[in-house]
Structure 1
Amino acid sequence: MKFKKTIIITSVALALSIGGYMYADSKTSVAEIDAMKVSYNTLSELESRSELIISGKPAESVNHVVRNADGLTEEAYTITSFKVDGVYASKAKKQLNQGDIIKVAEPFYIVDNGIKPGKTQFAIEGYEPMEKSKRYLLVLKPDLTYPDLNVIAGVTEGKYSLDETEQNIHSDEKTAKFKDELVKKYQIK
């Protein structure tokens, strides 16, 4: 009887420990990375240094992390498939149409903490990942290394939620002004 009781108590303790670990492992903490981001003074400067101005919704995303032989991170971001629903300006050689899917490099990535429970999301300059359920206006330029990849101009200055009427709490006045000017200029609904 004493043996059965010990087995039951041990099993319950083990189950609670596993459950607690699994819960903790499902959590993601955020670490901000400071960087010298490119900032634009005017909307015309932002537009002149970009190749595409489009709207649409993000689909699936995948981490892209490249490490060197010593295990140090050389490049890291998230590649998001983005379904285009509107093209407002394009200097691209290839014509882009409604319904096309392009790759966008978002300046964040997630790392599994290994045996330590949880994951860590590294975000450059407070960047917030696009949400799949929302529609966005993006100002993009081509990536210098990967020709089929697009980069958001100015990290946060080239990404605007079209589903939110209020200014994003992480957005500054200039970015909100750029969004308003773009929506008005291109009559974006």
Structure 2
Amino acid sequence: MKGELFKTGILKWTLVLACLLFLMFWYVKADQKITVVEGASSQAWLIPYEDAESLTNDVDLVVTGTVMPGMSQTISIPSVAGGSRHYTATEIKVEQVLKNNGQAAENQTLPIVEPTYIIDKGLVPGKIEFPLEHYRKALPGGKYLLFLKWSDNLQKYWVHAGYQGKYNLDGKDVREMELSVEIPKYVQLKEKVKQKYNQVWGMDH
């Protein structure tokens, strides 16, 4: 009798533990999901580019680099309309400098500003992203080709022209790939950027 009770108790605790592990796995997975909330005036001041030359000419810096994991934070600056605007300050390790105004070097850690920010939903699993111009936050550890413009207001380089200023090079940024479906013009511009900077595409070092 005692043996049967013991086996029953073990079975119950095993089931409880299995349920807890399942819930933990589900929560961790669900907490990684990012829901995007586009601003009403998201493209109000977006400069549409049709070729890589124009995009390159309008920026101060073109680099390839890796996003440093754990080195991003939300920053706020006063808005002209009142209140504050929120962005993300991210650090990248520069690997190649393709256009330079004299303020960046290879192997340098460079702080940049991304036109988006993400908030955590607290105990509720998941996160919410509030981007400008259909931008998507760069993936930590991901390698990118970046078109950057200096901001006197922010005293940092800014990813220029929203989604048009950032291109994933290692094929790991699934959220950026989704833009190809949402914005057909992005595909056309990306192909022209690939043609101009073909030496850096598919880099895995």
Give the TM-score normalised by structure 1: 0.71
**Offset at residue 178 of structure 1 (A):** 3.2
Extract unaligned runs of 5+ from structure 1.
1-15
**Offset at residue 109 of structure 1 (A):** 0.8
Name the counterpart of 1:145.
153
Name the counterpart of 1:45.
54
Worse-matched range after superposition: 24-33 or 128-137:
24-33
- Asked whether the 8 Å contact 2:51–2:189 carries over to 1, the reply is no
Name the counterpart of 1:63.
74
Name the counterpart of 2:98.
88
Indicate the RMSD between aligned Cα atoms, in angstroms: 3.2
Distance 2:163 2:171 in 1: 15
**Offset at residue 144 of structure 1 (A):** 3.1
Cα gap change, 1:100 to 1:35, in 2 (>3 Å): same
Q: Partner of 1:61: helix, strand, or coil?
A: strand
| 1:173 counterpart letter in structure 2 | V
**Offset at residue 119 of structure 1 (A):** 4.4
- Asked whether the 8 Å contact 1:64–1:77 carries over to 2, the reply is yes
In structure 2, which of residues 176, 192, 198 is the aligned counterpart of residue 178 of structure 1?
Answer: 192
Name the counterpart of 1:155.
162
Choose between structure 1 and 2: higher strand proportion.
Answer: 1
Q: Partner of 2:193: helix, strand, or coil?
A: helix
Distance 1:160 1:50 in 2: 15
| 1:52 counterpart letter in structure 2 | L
Cα gap change, 1:83 to 1:161, in 2 (>3 Å): same
- Asked whether the 8 Å contact 1:65–1:73 carries over to 2, the reply is no
1:4-19 equivalence runs, <5 A: none
Worse-matched range after superposition: 117-126 or 39-48:
117-126
Q: Partner of 1:157: helix, strand, or coil?
A: helix
Distance 1:177 1:46 in 2: 13
Cα gap change, 1:139 to 1:178, in 2 (>3 Å): farther
Q: Deviations over 1:135-165 (max 9, x none)?
A: 1010111013022x11112111111111129
Cα gap change, 1:66 to 1:114, in 2 (>3 Å): farther
In structure 2, which of residues 141, 162, 171 is the aligned counterpart of residue 164 of structure 1?
Answer: 171
| 1:65 counterpart letter in structure 2 | S
Identity %: 25
Choose between structure 1 and 2: higher helix proportion.
Answer: 2
Distance 2:139 2:122 in 1: 26
**Offset at residue 182 of structure 1 (A):** 3.0
